[in-house]
């Protein structure tokens, strides 16, 4: 078992029991943990203590009103920013859980998840995950996870914003690309997704690819 896997498993169980797991997608570095179910001999490079869930449609969350209480029963503190309402769950040993969603027309910094008191932070580029995820059966729980293609492209899109995490993200992208490039199916998915992106996004991705000499042959 990799570090913090038990915490991740407990969180998935809570979200599944409360009926909202089907409405969220695991993104970020914890996606890599599940890629061992996709790629043969994949070695997950999970070093973060944060797990992020993307919420494509916050208003579709149907409250069972026990999410906060259930996570508190696992000793997670529920913290909500007084200005933006951004919600974070933090364990005693600093394992964090956050919800994210795409930017909205009202320019709200955070969006409420249904009728819960949990707010997802609105950020750029996460909409790439809305229709680009894989479903994994993990210990009897069906989990939606960012597809390898969307993981790679979103990491490249945000690379210039990552500051101290830029090099770590590029290392992670190289790692996943090694497996994508070895699979006709997933390499085609990567090319197809890239071609579907806005021109400004493609330009940004190409600049990061070139700057880091990544093994991608986008035209």
- 91: its two tokens: 């364990």
More confident: 163 or 208: 208
In a domain, 219, yes or no: no
> Which residue, 94, 117, 146, sits at the end of a domain?
146
Q: Are residues 101 and 12 in the same domain?
A: yes
Whether 95 is covered by a domain: the verdict is yes
Q: 164 with 141, same domain? A: no
Same domain? For 121 and 51 the reply is: yes
How many residues comprise the chain?
Answer: 219
For the chain, how many structural domains are there in total? 2
- Rounded to whole angstroms, the Cα distance separating 197 from 177 reads 19
Residue 127's pLDDT band (boundaries 50, 70, 90)?
very high
Q: Name which of 141, 217, 216, 143 is nearest 178 in CA terms.
A: 216
Tell which of 97, 127, 146 closes a domain. Answer: 146
What's the pLDDT band for 186 if we cut at 50, 70, 90?
Answer: very high
Same domain, yes or no: 152 and 123? no
What's the first-to-final CA gap in the chain, in angstroms? 40
pLDDT > 90: percent of the chain: 75
Q: Is residue 191 part of a domain?
A: yes
177 shares its domain with 127: no
Task: Say if residue 25 is in the same domain as residue 103.
Answer: yes
| Contact between 33 and 44 (Cβ < 8 Å) | yes
91 and 5 both lie in a single domain: yes
Q: Could you report the per-residue pLDDT of 41-83, keeping only the tens digit for each?
A: 998 877 778 999 999 999 888 766 689 999 999 999 999 999 9
Instruction: Say whether both 128 and 166 belong to one domain.
Output: no
Identify the residue with better confidence: 99 or 161.
99
Among 92, 122, 146, give the residue marking a domain's end: 146
Q: CB within 8 A of 63, min separation 6: which ones?
A: 114, 115, 116
23-36, pLDDT tens digit by residue? 999 999 999 999 99
pLDDT of 138 over the 70 cut? yes
Find the domain containing 180 and state its range.
Answer: 147-214
**Higher-scoring residue by pLDDT: 215, 202:** 202
Mean of pLDDT values over 169-187: 93
Q: What angle do CA 160, 150, 136 make, to 5 degrees?
A: 135
Q: Are residues 142 and 106 in the same domain?
A: yes
The residue-averaged pLDDT of 86-113 equals 93
Q: What is the pLDDT of residue 63?
A: 62
Assess whether pLDDT exceeds 60 at residue 129: yes
Instruction: Give the helix ranges, DSSP H, for the chain.
Output: 5-17, 31-34, 67-72, 148-157, 166-180, 184-196, 199-211
Average the pLDDT over 96-108 and give the result. 91
Helices first, then strands: H and E counts in the chain: 7, 9
Kindly report the backbone phi and psi dihedral angles of residue 147, in degrees, each rounded to the nearest multiple of 5, phi listed first: -65, 155
- Give the CB-side neighbour count of residue 171, counting CA atoms within 13 A: 10
Q: Do 56 and 131 belong together in one domain?
A: yes
Examine residue 168 and state whether it is found in any structural domain, yes or no.
Answer: yes
For residue 36, the tally of other CB atoms under 10 A from its CB is: 14
pLDDT of residue 12: 95
CATH number at 134 reads 3.30.460
d(CA 64, CA 20): 9
Whether 69 and 177 share a structural domain: no
The predicted structure's pLDDT at residue 24: 96
What pLDDT does residue 173 have? 94
Q: What is the pLDDT of residue 1?
A: 54
Output the pLDDT for position 62.
75
Would you say residue 219 has pLDDT above 60?
no
């Amino acid at each position: 078992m990799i570090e913090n896997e038990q915490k991740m498993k407990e969180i998935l169980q809570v979200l599944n029991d409360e009926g909202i797991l089907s409405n969220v997608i695991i993104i970020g570095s914890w996606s890599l943990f599940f890629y061992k179910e996709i790629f043969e001999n994949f070695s997950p490079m999970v070093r973060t203590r944060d797990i992020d869930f993307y919420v494509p449609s916050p208003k579709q969350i149907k409250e069972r009103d026990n999410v906060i209480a259930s996570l508190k029963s696992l000793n997670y503190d529920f913290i909500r920013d007084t200005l933006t309402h951004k919600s974070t769950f933090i364990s005693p040993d600093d394992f964090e859980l956050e919800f994210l969603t795409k930017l909205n027309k009202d320019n709200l910094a955070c969006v409420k998840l249904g009728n819960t008191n949990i707010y997802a932070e609105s950020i750029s580029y996460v909409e790439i995950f809305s229709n680009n995820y894989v479903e994994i059966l993990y210990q009897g729980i069906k989990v939606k996870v960012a597809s390898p293609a969307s993981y790679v492209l979103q990491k490249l899109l945000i690379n210039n914003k990552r500051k101290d995490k830029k090099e770590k993200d590029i290392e992670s992208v190289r790692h996943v690309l090694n497996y994508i490039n070895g699979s006709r199916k997933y390499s085609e998915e990567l090319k197809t997704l890239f071609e579907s992106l806005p021109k400004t996004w493609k330009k940004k991705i190409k600049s990061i690819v070139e700057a880091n000499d990544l093994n991608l042959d986008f035209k």
